[in-house]
Amino acid sequence: MADIKTVATRASYGEALVELGKQRNDFIVLDADLAAATQTGKFKAAFPDRFYDCGIAEQNMMSIAAGIAATGKRVFVSSFAMFAAGRAFEQIRNSICYPNLHVVIGATHAGISVGEDGATHQCLEDIALMRTLPNMTVINPADDTEAKKAIFAAIDHDGPVYMRFGRYAVPVIFGDDYKFQIGKASVLREGTDVSIIATGLMVSEALKAHQILKDEGIEARVINMATIKPIDKEAVLAAARETGAIVTAEEHSVIGGLGGAVSELVCEECPVPVIKLGVYDRFGYSGPAGKLLDEFGLRAKDIAEKAKSAINLKK
């Protein structure tokens, strides 16, 4: 059996910026002294006159990005998720979202899979924070292909965009023919017993969970929800109506993330059991990324168990 290709989506970000830079010259890239880690250094090497290092000053960087966007220029602004969504929240809120400026925030090193960097850098709250902001679009791609296509889509999207990328190399799921559209989910596996709605690196785990459940005679629908805001209401409500139970899977706090978005919608329009799988109101800690995913219950077997629990809650 051929080895499965794995790529960290932060690497996809850097590569896509370079490719985008070859095709158009109407945008610039900002970074906060982390170009090697965020992979924007690749863009800097290719287009040094369109790259600006703002130093370890994330709040100032967001304000600079806002000023540039106010002139009509397109801008990508890059840092770790903890620093972008956390440290610079006020500037994103007041200087970017309030005037509805076109700034794409490339937030790398998100989630527990940052690994050895530990709790201070393992941002588990960023989706919740960004999802609360008016005008903000939130995208959490599942793999290399989707990340690159999402970046190409984001540059022409009206208003601010928060894009979440990871340090941990994840399986490449999609081929070059994959069609990405902001606000649209994709059904990866059909099923009638339960729906698994996953985002980011949890999508590959959801696909493995599908096989575990199938071996037990359970048919699970697997949905890739790359855009968390605006969420694909049609896909979520179809899952609720047609399978009667939902499990959400995310490498994020269960408070305010994908699970929250799905629960809010389902509760209002089509009440069915929803079980949220993610990090349960706790901080992470330093350790190898793979072992942390095991420790925090973010694996296929954990999704499969939640799916069976959801089925048991069906009336």
Domain definitions of the chain by residue range = 6-171, 186-312
| pLDDT per residue as tens digits for the range 207-233 | 999 999 999 999 999 999 999 999 999
Predicted confidence (pLDDT) per residue in 91-107, tens digit: 999 999 999 999 999 99
Which band of pLDDT confidence, cut at 50, 70 and 90, is reported for residue 4? confident
The CATH code of domain 6-171 reads 3.40.50.970
- The pTM of the full predicted model, rounded to 2 decimals, is 0.96
Give the pLDDT mean for 286-312.
Answer: 97
Topology agreement, domain 6-171 and domain 186-312 = yes
The overall average pLDDT reported for the chain is 97
How far, in Å, CA of 198 to CA of 207, rounded? 9
For residues 147 and 165, is the Cβ–Cβ distance under 8 A?
yes
The residues that are catalytic are 58
pLDDT mean over 241-258: 98
Flag whether pLDDT at 2 surpasses 70: no
For domain 186-312, give the CATH number: 3.40.50.920
Q: Is the pLDDT of residue 122 over 80?
A: yes
Residue 71's pLDDT is: 95
Does the pLDDT at position 3 exceed 90? no
Q: How far is CA 85 from CA 11, 89, 90, in A?
A: 20, 5, 9
Q: Please say whether the beta carbons of 236 and 228 come within 8 A.
A: no
